[in-house]
């Protein structure tokens, strides 16, 4: 069976495997299982690992640090800055530099390959003006509406976090810098305003949702920025079990979404392929995608995704059936 495909990572000669390991669920079962999952990914040829101080209740970085320490295989390791309790910390160069040093300590590294802004679609990165009500909500439950606003202008390029990222790259503490986020249109807006090497879009490109494909990827291609996808399986599993979570979105049409889920289930049944295989093979067919992060917590889970893409592209008729499932961006 063919090995994992490597794709160009932005500009230059770096490459990453089409399947990467996302660190968000590494502690789901146990620390030991997380370490075993990382090491199994390495054995399978996966060379891209993504983590954050926020992931796995703070244990994702220590798990990766343990699993990768002393390994001789070549790989790329990405981590992030962010997820502070108080919004003013997102604008503090000192705080961000301190977090970077702590990240490196937990990862047992002097440098990482990629350093990125976590949730670049949050306004706190780009402005000092956090309203009092929003600030109180932030401190109460950390779940305010903190997205950047369409009606406001932001200085993305000169924000403190971008200063820290550029300095880290110049000092050799990372090779590449990037942004990440969960709202495709907002992330695309930030991407237009900054010079980075990689953009990670979570939850907005899968067999039904195509926001990143239609908003982020065209900009990334123009700027020769690597595109990494996160959470391609999580959104579907969450929504199918609890549709009400998405009713907050404008123009939500529950009947239409339910119909698309039913069509997806029919495709799965008629093709005999599971959702993991359909999703991974569908996304891997897009040459604009650099790497697809799998949120694995057990070795068997990363094995399933690697095996899926090694089967090659879906048959043309099946690929088209998945294409037709997509919701046009702007209707949700």
Q: Percent of the chain having pLDDT more than 70?
A: 88
What's the pLDDT at 236?
67
Residue 258: inside a domain: no
Domain encompassing residue 283 = 6-242+277-313
Question: How many structural domains compose the chain?
Answer: 1
The band of 27, judged by pLDDT with boundaries at 50, 70 and 90, is very high
Question: Does residue 328 fall inside a structural domain?
Answer: no
Q: Which of 12-21, 114-123, 133-142, 294-303 has the lowest mean pLDDT?
A: 133-142
Quick one: pLDDT at residue 143? 47
Residue 52 · residue 79 · CB < 8 Å: yes
pLDDT tens digits, residue range 220-255? 999 999 999 999 988 766 555 554 555 444 455 778
The full DSSP string for 27-39 is: TSS-HHHHHHHHH
What are the start-end ranges of the E strands in the chain? Answer: 6-8, 15-17, 19-22, 48-50, 76-81, 112-117, 174-181, 198-202, 226-230, 291-294
Query: What pLDDT sits at residue 140?
Result: 55
Query: Of the ranges 17-21, 29-33, 230-234, 275-279, which one carries the lowest mean pLDDT score?
Result: 230-234
User: 3 falls in which pLDDT band (50, 70, 90)?
Assistant: confident
- Distance between alpha carbon 14 and the CA centroid of its chain, in Å? 19
C-alpha span between 143 and 147 (Å, rounded): 11
The mean of the pLDDT values for the chain is 90
275-284 vs 299-310: helix crossing angle, rounded to 10: 50
Distance CA 282, CA 162 (A): 34
Does pLDDT of 142 surpass 60? no
Flag whether 322 is in a domain: no
Is 226 in contact with 197 (CB distance < 8 Å)?
A: yes
Q: Is residue 68 part of a domain?
A: yes
Residues 6+ apart with CB under 8 A from 13: none
Residue 1 within a domain: no
Share of the chain above pLDDT 90, in %: 77
pTM score: 0.92
256 assigned to some structural domain: no
Decide if 329 is inside a domain: no
| Domain assignment present for 261 | no
pLDDT at 238: 58
> What is the rounded CA–CA span in Å between residue 286 and residue 294?
17
Which of 231-235, 299-303, 312-316 is the least confident region?
231-235
The predicted pLDDT at position 146 comes to 80
pLDDT 10s digits, 167-193: 999 999 999 999 999 999 999 999 999
Residues 6+ apart with CB under 8 A from 234: 203, 295
CATH number for the domain harbouring residue 54: 3.20.20.100
pLDDT tens figures, 42-52: 999 999 999 99
Whether the pLDDT of residue 34 is over 80: the answer is yes
For the chain, the straight-line distance linking the first and the last C-alpha, in angstroms and rounded, comes to 40
């Amino acid at each position: 069976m063919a090995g994992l495909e490597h794709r160009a990572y932005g500009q230059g000669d770096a490459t990453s495997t089409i399947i990467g390991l996302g660190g968000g669920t590494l502690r789901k079962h146990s620390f030991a299982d997380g370490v075993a999952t990382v090491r199994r990914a390495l054995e399978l040829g996966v060379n891209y690992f993504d983590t954050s101080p926020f992931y796995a209740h703070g244990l994702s970085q220590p798990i990766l640090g343990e699993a990768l320490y002393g390994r001789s295989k070549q790989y790329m390791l990405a981590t992030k800055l962010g997820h502070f309790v108080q919004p003013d910390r997102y604008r503090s160069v000192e705080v961000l530099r301190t977090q970077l040093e702590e990240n490196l300590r937990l990862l047992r590294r002097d440098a990482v390959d990629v350093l990125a802004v976590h949730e670049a679609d949050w306004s706190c990165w780009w402005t000092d003006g956090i309203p009092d009500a929003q600030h109180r909500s932030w401190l109460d439950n950390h779940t305010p509406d903190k997205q950047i606003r369409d009606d406001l202008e932001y200085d993305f390029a000169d924000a403190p976090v971008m200063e820290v990222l550029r300095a880290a790259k110049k000092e050799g503490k990372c090779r590449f810098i990037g942004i990440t986020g969960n709202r495709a249109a907002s992330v695309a807006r930030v991407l237009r305003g900054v010079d980075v090497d990689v953009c990670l879009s979570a939850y907005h490109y899968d067999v039904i949702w195509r926001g990143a494909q239609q908003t982020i990827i065209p900009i990334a291609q123009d700027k020769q920025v690597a595109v990494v996808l996160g959470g391609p399986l999580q959104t579907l599993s969450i929504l199918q079990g609890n549709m009400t979570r998405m009713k907050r979105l404008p123009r939500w049409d529950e009947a239409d979404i339910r119909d698309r889920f039913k069509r997806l289930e029919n495709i799965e049944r008629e093709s005999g392929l599971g959702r993991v295989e359909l999703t991974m093979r569908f996304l891997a067919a897009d040459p604009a995608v650099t790497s697809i992060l799998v949120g694995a917590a057990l070795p068997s889970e990363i094995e399933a995704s690697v095996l899926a893409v090694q089967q090659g592209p879906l048959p043309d008729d099946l690929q088209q059936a998945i294409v037709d499932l997509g919701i046009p961006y702007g209707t949700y």
